Amino acid sequence: MATTESSLPIARRSVWRDDCLELVCGIANAGGGRLILDADVDSRGVVKRKTNRVMRSIPGAISQALDLTCAIELVLDGGRFCLEVVIPPASEPISYRGAFYFYQDGTNRILDGDALDRLLQPELEPDIKWETRPVVQASLDDLNLNLVARFTGTSRDTDLVTALDEASAIEEDLRHAGLMTGVGTPTNVGILLLHDRPHQYIPGATVRIGFFGGRGGTPIFEDEIYGSLIEQVHATVETLYDKYLSDVTGQEDGISTYSLRPGTPPRDAVHEAVLNALAHKNYDSGTPVQVSVFTDRICIDNVGRPPRTWTVSALLGRHTSRPNNPTLVAALRRLGIIDGWGNGIGSMRLLCMEAGAAEPSFELRDDETMVCFPLDTDSMLTSSIANPHPIANHPPARTELPEVQATARAVALQQDTSLTLNDEKVLAMIDIDGRLTAPRIAKNLNISESTVRRSFRRLRELGLVERVGSDKSGFWQVK
């Protein structure tokens, strides 16, 4: 009997009576909703004594009778002041005086027979996904209003207490995006994106960073990053580069100067990896994203992985966006933080190539995804493209060739020829982004433009790539 957000009920009564507890029970079993009561307010908008007494007594009466936590507040409804009882969905079916009520289409009825069986056997109904589960302990007032304003595009100076129409519009926008339920409580995604301390409601909604030196086991020192998801991404990257990847190089006017360690990957690539880990994590696991820093590598590990049919080769190749948390990814896309096209892995690889840094390696486990950035080997980029075997002392998570490279080698072998190292490098780059030009590729690979164009011709002759559109505005497409 799952209730859709658009059909969440609103019941109206003139005064609070004992039978209102039957109504609250029915609304909670139906997925939550609101109960609107008349309020006695003077001309100045001050609640009169009788209404004030009712406001104080209702939450306790509901809690005692139904073991349910409900909020009550004064609202404007149709131009007049009313009391609004916000009723959350019952986590399990509840009864009042031995009867199970269910509110639907304006009627509160007692369930029996098959209808009662369906209510008492939730496994017969679709599960509510983690993303849209309500966080009944929180409300709009608990969220960071600057983050809410950024997401909804409203003024940061809006007073949600007095600007009730504005608050209603904001709630509607958040409900439409899956960040709030129809009864005014944030969802897990709403808390994750818009609350300053989401770990208070979502276990493990943090990032842990540890420095292990040249060994595993217990970290030598560590940090835990808190805050909204966006803040966690930025704070993780800043902490990594300022504390874990920098060395003291000297003193200037009594102030220590720092520089990044040799072979440090580009900041934007690591930012993309941390963002991917937080966006695609399985939050039901209660496990933080873990960033392990060794002397020769950074490994970013999260519980959650792409579809089980995907191999590392599929992950490295062209693929559609298949997020574990589609509501969260849609919200991040709306904020302009991700593009939602499944380009995250390609973006990391391309950023490293352009910076002349070693390409990251990837590993897919049963329920985890790990990306590792090498720190201390300048030749890792060449090796990752040219050599399918791991380099000694480097723990590459990628143990198979990218699909496009394996296919290219097989095609060349069938034609009794082989690809040069430059051919494979050029192919790897245009597989990530077919819009790359010869000058840009030449600059990134430190080779001449003529060498790049020869690789273009060779790849085209072997049938590995084709040009779509004109030389000026077209792009390369890997077959």
Domain boundaries, the chain: 5-126, 140-200, 207-386, 403-478
Same fold, 5-126 and 403-478: no
Closest residue by Cα to residue 258 from 266, 243, 247, 245:
247
Closest residue by Cα to residue 372 from 436, 302, 305:
302
Give the pLDDT band (50/70/90) at residue 195: very high
Closest residue by Cα to residue 297 from 377, 388, 400, 234:
377
Mean pLDDT, to the nearest integer, of 388-393? 35
- Residue 418, judged by CB atoms within 10 A of its CB (0-12, 13-18, 19+), counts as exposed
Indicate the pairing of strand 207-213 with strand 289-294: parallel
Statement: residue 46 has pLDDT above 90 = no
Give the pLDDT band (50/70/90) at residue 362: very high
Residue 75 and residue 171: Cα distance in Å, rounded? 14
Indicate the pairing of strand 33-38 with strand 10-13: parallel
404 sits in the region (left: phi over 0; alpha: psi -120 to 50; else beta) called: alpha
Give the pLDDT band (50/70/90) at residue 255: low
What's the pLDDT at 157? 55
Residue-wise pLDDT tens digits, 268-280: 999 999 999 999 9
What's the pLDDT at 474? 80
Q: What does pLDDT average to over the chain?
A: 81
Sign of CA dihedral 313, 317, 319, 325: positive
Specify which residues 2 forms β-bridges with: none
Closest residue by Cα to residue 282 from 302, 260, 254:
302
71 near 62, Cβ under 8 Å? no
Candidates 3.40.50.11810, 1.10.10.10, 3.40.50.360, 1.20.1250.20; correct CATH number of 403-478? 1.10.10.10
The pTM of this model reads: 0.62
Q: Which residue has the higher pLDDT, 213 or 38?
A: 38
64 near 21, Cβ under 8 Å? no
Q: What CATH fold (topology level) applies to the domain 5-126?
A: 3.30.950
Residue 298 and residue 355: Cα distance in Å, rounded? 17
Retrieve residue 83's tokens.
Answer: 């009391």
What's the pLDDT at 196? 94
| CATH hierarchy code of domain 207-386 | 3.30.565.60
Phi, psi at 11, each rounded to 5°: -105, 150
Give the pLDDT band (50/70/90) at residue 402: low
82 near 38, Cβ under 8 Å? yes
193 near 147, Cβ under 8 Å? yes
Q: Considering the chain, what percentage of its residues have pLDDT values greater than 70?
A: 83
94 sits in the region (left: phi over 0; alpha: psi -120 to 50; else beta) called: beta
